[in-house]
């Protein structure tokens, strides 16, 4: 064997040349280390960016789905609440379509059962009616329990429906006199035939009741204000429309304690 550097003869087993110290064989450890040394490959920026983009899209979709579900639940709740809250008025209005009709026939047509007495003594003592349909749920007004709503029916001697009244006792929950106003409500500026929306905006109160008769529809409001003497003055406001919902007239009744 010949040294590649000095070209002198060396033994086959020599690792270094005895003449010039040149390494004749490769270092096995170095070779192995190079072979198995971990290579740090550069990150593929495009792949990483794509993964982040897909992750962002997934999160966005999840957020949108969550928001959509929440909105759907809220919508369903609002619809249910609206249906429940309007049940009493809808019931009374349905009965009013049978004014002049025999009460038994009306019940059959409506698939309703009228009672001749309320389950609440406050209603029996304070209100005039021949038949009633009312809510099972109650509301307390000045220490007395009333149904949340009631549809009150009056009939003539021949048992034909004359009037139907819807009463929403929840309006009086906080105060039996209704809401507070800064002064007495005056509707003199409205002419006959005015639309309900205009008067409703001027009144700016939730109506306590509605009374349907053959020719009219009367909205009832309860409110109070502080008069010139500094006293609380309760008022019952009646605003009457014809069957086409065109304004006819209004009246205000001042309420005073019956017993002192």
Could you tell me the pTM of the whole model? Answer: 0.68
121 pLDDT band (50/70/90 cuts)? Answer: very high
**pLDDT score, position 165:** 98
CA atoms within 13 A on the CB side of 206: 12
Q: 86-113 pLDDT, tens per residue?
A: 689 999 999 999 999 999 999 999 999 9
Q: 202-260 pLDDT, tens per residue?
A: 999 999 999 999 999 999 999 999 999 999 999 999 999 999 999 999 999 999 886 65
Residue entry with tokens 């035939």: 193
Q: Where are the domains of the chain?
A: 175-260
Who contacts 232 (Cβ-Cβ below 8 Å, separation ≥6)?
Answer: 177, 224, 225, 226
81 pLDDT band (50/70/90 cuts)? Answer: very low
User: b or e along 166-204 (b: 16 or more beta carbons within 10 Å of the residue's beta carbon)?
Assistant: bbbbbbbeebebbbebeeebebeebeeebeeeebeeebe
Q: Of 43, 7, 38, which Cα lies nearest the Cα of 22?
A: 7
**pLDDT score, position 67:** 73
How confident is the model over 4-19, as a mean pLDDT?
71
Structure tokens at 248: 């006819």
């Amino acid at each position: 064997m010949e040294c590649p550097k000095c070209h002198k003869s060396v033994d086959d087993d020599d690792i270094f040349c005895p003449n010039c110290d040149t390494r004749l064989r490769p270092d096995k450890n170095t070779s192995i280390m190079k072979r198995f040394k971990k290579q740090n490959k550069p990150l593929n920026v495009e792949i990483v960016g794509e993964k982040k983009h897909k992750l962002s899209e997934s999160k966005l979709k999840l957020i949108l789905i969550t928001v959509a579900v929440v909105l759907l639940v809220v919508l369903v709740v609002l619809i249910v609440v609206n249906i429940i809250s309007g049940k009493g008025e809808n019931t009374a209005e349905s009965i009013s379509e049978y004014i002049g009709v025999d009460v038994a026939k009306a019940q059959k047509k409506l698939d309703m059962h009228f009672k001749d007495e309320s389950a609440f003594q406050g209603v029996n003592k304070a209100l005039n009616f021949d038949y009633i349909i009312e809510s099972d749920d109650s509301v307390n007004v000045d220490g007395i329990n009333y149904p949340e709503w009631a549809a009150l029916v009056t009939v003539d001697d021949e048992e034909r429906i004359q009037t139907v009244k819807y009463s929403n006792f929840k309006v009086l929950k906080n105060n039996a006199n209704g809401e507070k106003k800064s002064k007495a409500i005056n509707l003199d500026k409205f002419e006959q035939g005015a639309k309900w929306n205009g008067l409703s905006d001027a009144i700016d109160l939730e109506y306590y009741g509605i009374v349907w008769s053959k020719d009219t529809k009367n909205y009832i409001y309860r409110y109070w204000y502080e008069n010139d003497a500094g006293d609380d003055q309760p008022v019952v406001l009646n605003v009457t429309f014809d069957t086409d919902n065109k304004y006819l007239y209004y009246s205000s009744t001042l309420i005073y304690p019956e017993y002192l």
